[in-house]
Structure 1
Amino acid sequence: MTNWNDWIAIHPDIRGGKPCITGTRITVYDILEYLAGGMSEAEILADFPSLKAEHVRAVLMFAAQRERRLSMGHPHEIAA
């Protein structure tokens, strides 16, 4: 995988500017909630045929990078 930027976009007019899987209205938060709720990657991909495994990994990469930056005291550096 190259970069989460290849798979996640933030547009003010889509889902209120929440980070979404590019070309969809599925948010990073949606995928994280499904995973936290116990859904497997395979179950998520089965429920959303437009998603690929790369999308799920990009969501995790996005969340990890955001958390890392927040913990380092740079909360505004990952606005997009």
Structure 2
Amino acid sequence: MEYIFERITVDDELCNGKPTIRGLRVTAQTILEFLFNGSTEEEILEQYPVLVKEDIEACKKFALEMMNKNYRIKDIAA
């Protein structure tokens, strides 16, 4: 398991290699989807009692950091 950002980890053997929170079976994507769909932090913490507020903050920071990267779309030959 490798920490890639604060509490965000990546392990090829866990959740198909998607970024998770502290090596738990909770992906950063799942938490971000809850937030973007209007769930409050308190609701998320109720749904996932293994998490703490710092885990949710780490997901937000992770998302912001991913947006700080440069991306390029390449054409693929048909």
Q: TM-score range by the shorter chain?
A: 0.7 to 0.9
Cα offsets for 1:5-59 (capped at 9, x unmatched): 3311000010000000013110010001101111000100011111000000000
Tell me which amino acid in the other structure corresponds to 1:8.
I
User: Unmatched 5+ residue regions in structure 1?
Assistant: 75-80
Calculate the TM-score normalised by the size of structure 1: 0.79
Q: Which runs of 5 or more residues in structure 2 are unaligned?
A: 73-78
Higher relative contact order (CA 8 A, sep 6+): 1
Looking at secondary structure, tell me which structure has more strand per residue. Answer: 2
Q: Give the TM-score, by structure 2 length.
A: 0.81
Runs of 4+ in structure 1 off by over 6 angstroms are none
Equivalent pairs counted in the alignment come to 69
Percent of aligned pairs sharing the same letter: 33
Structure whose alpha-carbon radius of gyration is higher: 2
